[in-house]
Amino acid sequence: MDSSKLMTMKEAVSKFVADGDTVYLAGFTHMIPFAAGHEIIRQGRKDLTLARATPDIIYDQMVAAGCAKRLIFSYAGNPGVGSLRCFRRAHEKGVPKPLEVEEYTHFGLSGRLFAGATNMPFLPMRTNLGSGLPAENDLIKTIKDPYTGDEVSVVPPLKPDVAVVHVQRADANGNSHIWGIIGEQKDAAFAAKKVIISAEEIVDESVIRSDPNRTLVPDFLAHSVVHEPWCAHPSYVQGYYDRDNEFYMEWDKITKEHDSTMEYIQEWVLGVEDRAQYMKKYPKSKLDALLPKPAFSAPVNFGSV
Amino acid sequence: MDSSKLMTMKEAVSKFVADGDTVYLAGFTHMIPFAAGHEIIRQGRKDLTLARATPDIIYDQMVAAGCAKRLIFSYAGNPGVGSLRCFRRAHEKGVPKPLEVEEYTHFGLSGRLFAGATNMPFLPMRTNLGSGLPAENDLIKTIKDPYTGDEVSVVPPLKPDVAVVHVQRADANGNSHIWGIIGEQKDAAFAAKKVIISAEEIVDESVIRSDPNRTLVPDFLAHSVVHEPWCAHPSYVQGYYDRDNEFYMEWDKITKEHDSTMEYIQEWVLGVEDRAQYMKKYPKSKLDALLPKPAFSAPVNFGSV
Amino acid sequence: MSEVSPTELMVIVAARELKDGESVLVGVGVPNLAANLAKRLQAPNLLMVYESGAVGSNPSRMPLSIGDPCLVSGAKSVCSMYEQFAYYLQGGRIDVGFLGGAQIDKFGNINSTVIGSYKAPKVRLPGSGGACDIASNVKKIIVITPHEKRRFVEKVDFLTSPGFIDGKDGWRKLKLQGGGPYAVITNLCTFKFDELTGEMTVVALHEGVTIEQVQENTPWKVKVADDLESTPPPKQEEIEALRALDPQKIYLR
Amino acid sequence: MSEVSPTELMVIVAARELKDGESVLVGVGVPNLAANLAKRLQAPNLLMVYESGAVGSNPSRMPLSIGDPCLVSGAKSVCSMYEQFAYYLQGGRIDVGFLGGAQIDKFGNINSTVIGSYKAPKVRLPGSGGACDIASNVKKIIVITPHEKRRFVEKVDFLTSPGFIDGKDGWRKLKLQGGGPYAVITNLCTFKFDELTGEMTVVALHEGVTIEQVQENTPWKVKVADDLESTPPPKQEEIEALRALDPQKIYLR
C-alpha cells in the first residue's frame, strides 16, 4: 500500500494544479468538489481553463476570484435558481477579467470527456446539426457517415491536465466507490493527466475489494488521495448530506455585485485555512438539517471459489 | 407491476425468437444463457445469425443442431481448452450445413454492440489497421480523422433482433441487478429489438430499488422475464455457482465427431423438457461442488432525504 | 379559471398530452410537475428519465435540482451522464421531452443561449445544457412557456435547439431521428405544428381567451386550425393532484 | 536446465521482462503465470488487467478462464467488455501485452486466425479475440511461443495482429499508438527487435542452446545481436515461486 498518496487538499492542489492548466472539477450536481475549488482560489492559481458541463457555483466563485481565463461548458446556470452572475459579469463585461467561452451541449461536452477517457480519435453523435453552436465552435465538426452518406456531427476528445473527483469512499491508494448520480466522475478520472481523489471516508482496501463493481475509479489513476469530509458542501453527497439549497438561493443575492461576491470569498474562502475550518464556521444547525436518514443497499454475494 | 412479463423459457423463446433472427446470447464467459440456447434448439429454430464475441460451447451446440446460417464473432475457441469443433466442422466442411462467418476483434465486436446500444451512426476505434480482417469484412471501413487527417478504422452499430441476458436477480418487470464480469450484458439489452431477461432469482422491486446503481438493465427494455435457476450451467454465475470446467474439457471429446455431438444433444437437450429437468438429470454431487462460499459486498448508504 | 394560476393551467394542459406507457425526459420545475401529474392521473406507467441519469425515480419530495438525491434513493436505475445521453436519448428510447427557452419562433426553434449577438451578448443565458440533444432525439417536443411578445419572436437571436428550422424541408435535410416540435403550451392557448409546413398553429384556446388576445401577444400572423377547439377547463381532480405535488408552491407561483 | 520444463523456462524468462509499476494485460495460462511470477518477485506493484474487465485481481486459485469468478472476488474493480477495451487498451493505459499465435514472421506479425486461405481454411483457428487490439495499443508486446518451424514462418497465412508489418516504415504509416513487438521468448532463445529495421533479432540464448539450433528451427536467416548474451539460468527462487502458482500443473506441463 503506497500510502504516500494520502495528503491534504492544500498539498494536493499545490503539487498537482498549475497556472494555465485545464482543470475539471467533476460531478453532475452531485459531489462537486467545492473544497478543491476553494483551495485553488486560496493558492491564487490563474489563467486556468475551467471545464465542467455545469459550471455551477464553484466555477462562479473561481471566475469571480480571477482564476479563470476560459470556460468550457454546456450549461452555465445556477441549477434550479437562475443565472450565474459572476460568469455573466466576466463574459459580458470583463469583470474582474475577460472570460473566453467554449460551448457545447451536455451530450457534446460529456461526449468529449468520454472520448478523452477512452482515447477515441473523435466521437460521432446525433446532435448539434441545425443548432447554432457548431458555427461558434470550430472544434465541433461535421463529417460524412461512411455507411449512409449522411452528415454526422463529431467532437474531439477532451483531456484535462488535472481532474478532481470527490467520492463517498476510497482506500488509501485511491480505489474509489461512488454511488448515486455518477455523472462524469469516471470519465474525468480516465481523461485527465493528473487526478486528485477526495473522499468523505478513507476505508480499508478490503471494503473496496468486497464490491469491485462499485469501483468507478481504480487506484492507478490517482495521483493523490485527500480525506476531505463535507468537501462537496453546498452541493451534496448521496447518503452523507443533502444539498444546501438555501445557500444556492443565497448565492443569487451574494453575487448581485462583484464587491459583495468578493466579501463572501474573503470571509468563506480566503478567510479560512481549509475545509475543516469552513465547516466549523458554518452554522451547525443548518448542517444537521442536511443529514439524511439511513437507507442501505441490499448486499450481493460475490462468492469465494 | 406488469407481471404478464413473467413466463417460462419455452414461452419466451416461442414468442420472441423467430427463424432468421439475429440472436445475441450475452455474457463474456460469465452467465451465458445455456438454457435459452437449448430451448432454441428444442423449438427447432433455423437460419439464425448467431452473434457473440465468444461463441463458446453454447453456439457450438446450436451450430451442430443446425440452427445457424451465419456467425458473427471475435473469438471462436473453447476458452481455456482449445477449438470449437462443431463451429469448425460447419465452417470448414459444411457439416451439418455451411456456416458463413463475419469476424471482428473483441474490441470491434463489443464496439459494434456498444454503438448499437447507443445508436451511434458508427464507431471510430484504434484497432484493425494493419490487420487482415478489414479486407475480409466490408463492414469494417476506414475513414479520415477530421482533426488529424489520419486514417481511422470504424465499425457500424449492431442491433440484434433478440438478446437473451441472464442476470443474478431481477424483479418481475425485468429491472436487473448484475455483478461480477459484466461483459456485454447491458449493451446487448439496449441494442436488441426484443429482450428476454432470465434470472437466478426473482426478487421484490424494493430489492432492486435499494441499489439503483447496480441495475444494468432497466425494466422497460425487457419483453419477458424468465425465472431460470442454473440457466448458465456449465458456465457460471458470480456468487451462485462456479464454472463446470470438467464439462468444458469433456466437450472437446464429445464433439470429436458430429454423431457423438448429436448423441449429446439428443440426451441433454432434446431429451429433456426444460432446464429444471436438465438439472435434475445432472449428477448432484458435481453441482454441489460448484457452490461457492459466501462473500458479501459491504453495503452502502443511499440515504433518504 | 380564476381559481388556477397561469402556471397551474399550463402544467395541467401539458400533463394531458402524456400517454400511458410513454417515456419522458424530465427536467425539474414545471416539466417535472406535468410528468408527475400525468403519472398520477391517466398515465400510471409513464417512464420518467431524468437528465442526471436517474430512471424510474420515486421521489420523496419535490426535487430541488435535476440531480436531487431524492431522484436516486428508490429509483430503478442510475447511469452516468454520457450514458444517459447515449443510451437513452441518442438510443431513441425517449418519446417526449419538455423544453423551455427565452425565445421561440413559429417553426419551434428555441433560443436558450444568448440575447443579442453570440460574441457580444446583451444577456448571456445558461445555454443548451441537454436541450439541443433532447430536441434532436425525442419523438415529441413539448414546450411550456408564458405567452409573451419577447418570447415569441420572428427570428431567434441564436438557434440553440432545432425545431423545424425554416419549415419541414429544412428540417428533413438534417435527418434527425426525433419527431420535432409537437406542442407549445402557453397560458393562452395550445399550439401544434402543421404537418406539411411545420408552422405553429393554434389548435385550442384556453377558457376565456380570444384569438385576438393570442394574436396580440404573437409578433407574426398566427395560423389557426380549422377545427379550433376550447381547452377543457381544469378539473377539480387535476387541480388537487397538482397542488399535492408542490404543497409549498415552489414552482406553482 | 534439466530440472525445468521448456514451458517453465519460457515463463521464467518472460516474467523477468516485467518491471515494477508496469500495467500488464493478462490472458489465462502461460501469460497469467508470467505476470503473477513477476509480481511475486521483482514487480510487487505490477497492475494486472484482465481482458474480461477485472483489474487488480487477487485470485484464490489458478484462473480456469479469462472470466473466472476468482478474478472478480476481491478484485479492485470490474468494468464491461467495451469499457475494458476502450478505457484501458485504447486509453493507452497498458504497458505490456502478451500474445501467442499459430504463426509469427520476422517482423513480429502474428496469425491466430486461419491456416490456409481465409475463405477456404485448412484449419480454422479461434481468431483475434483481443489480440489485434492488444497489438495495436500496448507499449510492449511480448510473445511467448515454442520454437518450431511451423510457427516461425516467412509469411503468415493471415495477419491477425500487426507487428512491424514489412519493417518499421510500414508500421509507422499505421500510426498505431502502441510500441509494437518488444520480445519473443521461446524455449531456445530471446528475440528482441532491431530499432531501425524492426527485424526479430536473437539477443540471448538459453542455457545449452547454440545459435545453429535456433537457425535450424527458424526458416529465415536469423539476425543475431552483436552483443549476444546467455540467458541467466532459472534461479531456485524463480522455480519455486512459479511451481507454487500452478501446483496442479494445469499449464506447466
Q: Is A43 on the interface with B (CB under 8 A)?
A: no
Is B154 in the A-facing interface, judged by CB distances under 8 Å? yes
Are B110 and B143 spatial neighbours (Cβ–Cβ below 8 Å)? no
For the cut 80, the answer to whether the pLDDT of residue C35 exceeds it is: yes
pLDDT at A79: 78
Catalytically annotated residue among C22, C51, C199, C238:
C51
- Touching pair D, C by Cβ (3+ pairs < 8 Å): no
Sheet holding C140-144, edge to edge: C77-78, C54-55, C47-50, C23-26, C96-99, C140-144, C181-185, C189-193, C200-205, C223-230
Of A106, A180, A236, the CB nearest to C129: A106
Number of residues written out for chain B = 305
d(CA D181, CA D179): 7
D51 has catalytic annotation: yes
Could you tell me if C65 lies within 8 Å of chain B, comparing CB atoms? no
Residue C38 and residue C45: Cα distance in Å, rounded?
10
Q: What is the mean pLDDT of residues C202-210?
A: 97
D51, D148, D154, D199: the catalytic one is D51
Q: What is the pLDDT of residues B104-129, one digit of tens each?
A: 999 999 999 999 999 999 999 999 99
Output the pLDDT for position C1.
44
The answer to the question of residue C229 being in a domain is: yes
Interface contact C65, partner A, CB < 8 A = yes
Q: Give the model's pLDDT for residue D85.
A: 98
- For A156, the closest of B121, B141, B147 (CB atoms) is B147
> What's the pLDDT tens digit per position in C78-103?
999 999 999 999 999 999 999 998 99
Search chain B and give the residue with CA nearest C175: B121
Nearest to C60 among B120, B209, B305 (CB): B305
**What percentage of chain D reaches a pLDDT higher than 70?**
99
Domain ranges of chain A: 3-105+159-289, 121-156
Q: B292 vs chain A: nearest CA distance in angstroms? A: 5
Put simply, whether C54 touches B (Cβ < 8 Å) is yes
How many domains are there within chain C? Answer: 1
Residue count of chain D, please give it: 253
- Name the architecture of domain B3-105+159-289: 3-Layer(aba) Sandwich (3.40)
pTM of the complete model? 0.97
Contact D67 B104 (CB under 8 A): no
Contacts of B293 in chain A (CB under 8 A): 303-305
- Dihedral over Cα of A158, A162, A168, A172: its sign: positive
Write the ipTM. Answer: 0.97
For chain B, say whether A149 makes contact (Cβ under 8 Å): no
What are residue D33's phi and psi, to 5 degrees? -65, -45
Q: Do D56 and A219 touch (CB under 8 A)?
A: yes
Is C250 within a domain? no
Q: What is the pLDDT of residues D91-140, one digit of tens each?
A: 999 999 999 989 999 999 999 999 999 999 999 999 999 999 999 999 99
> Hey, are the CB atoms on A156 and B177 less than 8 Å from each other?
no
Cβ–Cβ below 8 Å for A133 and C132: yes
- pLDDT for position D61: 84
Nearest by CB to B175, from C23, C73, C77: name it: C77
pLDDT of residue C251: 83
For residue A206, the chain D residue with the least C-alpha distance is D74
Q: Which of D22, D52, D76 to mutate to test the interface with A (most CBs of A within 10 A)?
A: D76
Give the per-residue pLDDT at A2: 52
pLDDT score, position C31? 87
> Are D87 and A190 an interchain contact pair (Cβ–Cβ within 8 Å)?
yes
For range A79-87, the mean pLDDT: 90
| A121: nearest CA partner in chain D | D90
Q: Is C87 on the interface with B (CB under 8 A)?
A: yes
C95 CB neighbours in chain B (<8 A) are none
CB neighbours (10 Å) of residue B138?
Answer: 8
Is pLDDT at D200 greater than 60 in this prediction? yes
Q: Are A301 and B239 inside 8 Å of each other by CB?
A: yes
Candidate from A70-74, A159-163, C66-70, C130-134 with smallest mean pLDDT: C66-70
DSSP conformation letters of chain B: --GGGB--HHHHHHHH--TT-EEEE--SSBS--HHHHHHHHHTT--SEEEE-SS-HHHHHHHHHTT-EEEEEES--EETTTEE-HHHHHHHHH-SSS--EEEE--HHHHHHHHHHHHTT-S-EEES--TTSSHHHH-TTSEEEE-TTT--EEEEE-----SEEEEEEEEE-TT--EE--S--TTHHHHHHH-SEEEEEEEEE--HHHHHT-GGGEEE-GGG-SEEEE-TTTTTTSBBTTTB---HHHHHHHHHHTTSHHHHHHHHIIIIITSSSHHHHHHHS-HHHHHTTPPBP-BPPP-B--B-
> In the prediction, which pLDDT does B3 show?
56
D partners (3+ CB pairs within 8 A) are: A, B
Residue D252 lies in a domain: no
Q: Any chain B CB within 8 A of the CB of D133?
A: yes
A145 inside 8 A of chain B by CB:
yes
Do B133 and D78 count as a contact with CB atoms less than 8 A apart? no
Q: Which positions in chain C touch B158 (Cβ < 8 Å)? A: none
Lookup result for grid cell 443529514: A291
Q: Which residues, 6 or more positions from B227, have their beta carbon under 8 angstroms from its beta carbon?
A: B6, B198, B199, B201, B202
Residue numbers in A near B179 (CB within 8 A): 211, 213, 300, 302
Instruction: Count interface pairs A-B at CB distance under 8 A.
Output: 151
Instruction: Give the residue from chain B lying closest to A240, CA to CA.
Output: B303
| Binding-face residues of C in 155-214 toward A, CB within 8 A | 158-162, 165, 171, 174-177
What is the CATH number for C104? 3.40.1080.10
Q: Cis omega before residue B146 (within 30°)? A: no
The minimal CB distance from D73 to the residues B105, B128, B295 is found for B295
Chain A residues within an 8 Å CB radius of C82: 107, 110-111, 113-114, 184, 187
- Partner B contacted by A305 (CB < 8 A): yes
Give the H/E segment covering residue D243.
helix D236-245
Taking an 8 Å cut-off on Cβ atoms, the answer to whether A243 and C121 are in contact is: no
Chains C and A, touching by 3 or more CB pairs within 8 angstroms? yes
Cβ pair A219:D76 closer than 8 A:
yes
Name the residue among D54, D55, D60 with its Cβ closest to that of A304: D60
pLDDT grade, residue C62 (50/70/90)? confident
Helix and strand element counts for chain A (H, E):
12, 14
Partner-chain residue, chosen from A124, A156, A239, that has the shortest CB–CB distance to B122: A124
Q: What is the mean pLDDT of residues A200-211?
A: 98
Closest in D65, D78, D160 to B180, CB measured: D78
Share of chain B above pLDDT 90, in %: 97
Can you give the residue range of the structural domain that contains D43? 6-245
Indicate whether C179 belongs to any domain. Answer: yes
Predicted pLDDT at A191: 98
Query: Quick one: pLDDT at residue A1?
Result: 44
Whose cell is 452516468? That residue is: C80
- Give mean pLDDT, residues D34-55: 94
Is the CB of A158 inside 8 Å of chain B's CB atoms? no
Residue B293 Ramachandran class (φ > 0 left, ψ -120 to 50 alpha, else beta): beta
Q: Which residue has the higher pLDDT, C167 or B1?
A: C167
Kindly list the residues from chain C whose CB atom is less than 8 angstroms away from the CB atom of residue B120.
86, 90
Q: In B, which residues are within 8 Å of A124 by CB distance?
A: 120-124
**Measured between alpha carbons, how far is D100 from D184 in angstroms, rounded to an integer?**
10
The answer, yes or no, to whether residue B1 has pLDDT greater than 50, is no
Residue of B nearest to C88 (CA): B118
C1 in a structural domain:
no
Question: How many A/C residue pairs have CB atoms within 8 Å?
Answer: 176
Inter-chain CB proximity D92 and A119 less than 8 Å: yes
Q: Which of B210, B212, B304 sits opposite C78 (nearest CB)?
A: B212
Cα within 13 Å of Cα(A214), Cβ side: 30
Q: Contact D80/B126, CB-based, under 8 Å? A: no
| Contact list, A201 vs chain B (CB under 8 Å) | none
pLDDT score for A166: 98
Confidence band for A3, pLDDT divided at 50, 70 and 90: low
The whole-number pLDDT of residue B2 equals 52
